[in-house]
Amino acid sequence: MKIIKAESYQDLSRKAANILSAQIILKPDCVLGLATGSTPIGTYKQLIEWYEKGDIDFSHTSTINLDEYCGLSPDNTQSYRYFMNEHLFKHININIHNTHVPDGMAVDETKECQRYDNLVNLLGGIDLQLLGIGHNGHIGFNEPNPSFEKTTHIVMLDDTTIKANARFFPTLQEVPRKAITMGIKTIMQSKKILLIANGADKEEIVRKALTGPVTPKVPASILQFHPNVTVVYCFEGGIL
């Protein structure tokens, strides 16, 4: 595991964007696994800037996102599809048909989960998966559990996750309780993983996940078993 300390959020964003753009330059038709949330916003902003300068070409690249809220349509401003369009896709030359987010409106949720797993396989797997981390150690929406959930599945969100995500909604009541997320096995099968964590409030959980016991109670701890993880973090202390 490579652990890189950033000086600031801007520095973290530039370092993460550098790793993603190197992937695209080395393999233009790569599959990027992407995340939403507040942490990657600066990374996406940096990628857009470099695209505008002519340094990155997304025309052959595919993306597949980790998760989506159930019950939110793509044009709902709180949906993760909307987030991705606004924060990245509409500013770059990616073919929108090559960008994938789970369908939160799927009537048959089980079928949607299977479709999403098949899609990852059809794309040939994920070359580089970008991850954030929740305060409870979740990755994607894989919440702390008695066991690791392997494949794409429906999840009831933890109270801590609902509260953390309430900052994006007008009221706590409007935060969806249910989501669809890629599973741990799918994430772990990515060839490379880039975990980004920003702020003092993430320090304890990042240390626990990366140096504590591997347990489904801290889902990100499974990353200790992945052969190619890079962590870029920005907070006061060290991790190891």
Task: Reply yes or no on whether 153 is catalytic.
Answer: no
Contact (CB, 8 A) for 120 and 114: no
**Tokens standing for residue 177:** 């309780």
Kind of pairing between the strands at 128-131 and 192-198: parallel
Size of the site for ligand F6R (CB under 6 A): 13
Candidates 20-28, 35-43, 102-110, 120-128: pick the segment binding ligand F6R (CB under 6 A): 35-43
Task: Reply yes or no on whether 136 is catalytic.
Answer: yes
Q: Determine which one of 68, 112, 117, 143 is catalytic.
A: 143
From candidates 132, 137, 183, 219, binder to ligand F6R by CB under 6 A: 132
Task: Reply yes or no on whether 76 is catalytic.
Answer: no
Task: Reply yes or no on whether 118 is catalytic.
Answer: no
Candidates 36-44, 45-53, 91-99, 101-109: pick the segment binding ligand F6R (CB under 6 A): 36-44
Our finding on whether 67 is near ligand F6R (CB under 6 A) is yes
Contact (CB, 8 A) for 88 and 47: yes
Q: Where are the alpha helices (DSSP H) in the chain?
A: 9-26, 41-52, 80-87, 109-122, 159-165, 184-188, 203-211
Burial track 38-67 (b if 16+ CB lie within 10 A, e otherwise)? ebbbbbbbbbbebbeeeebebeebbbbbbb
From candidates 14, 138, 153, 192, binder to ligand F6R by CB under 6 A: 138
From candidates 33, 37, 102, 183, binder to ligand F6R by CB under 6 A: 37
- Shortest spacing between CB 63 and ligand F6R, in angstroms: 12
Which residues are catalytically annotated? Answer: 67, 136, 138, 143
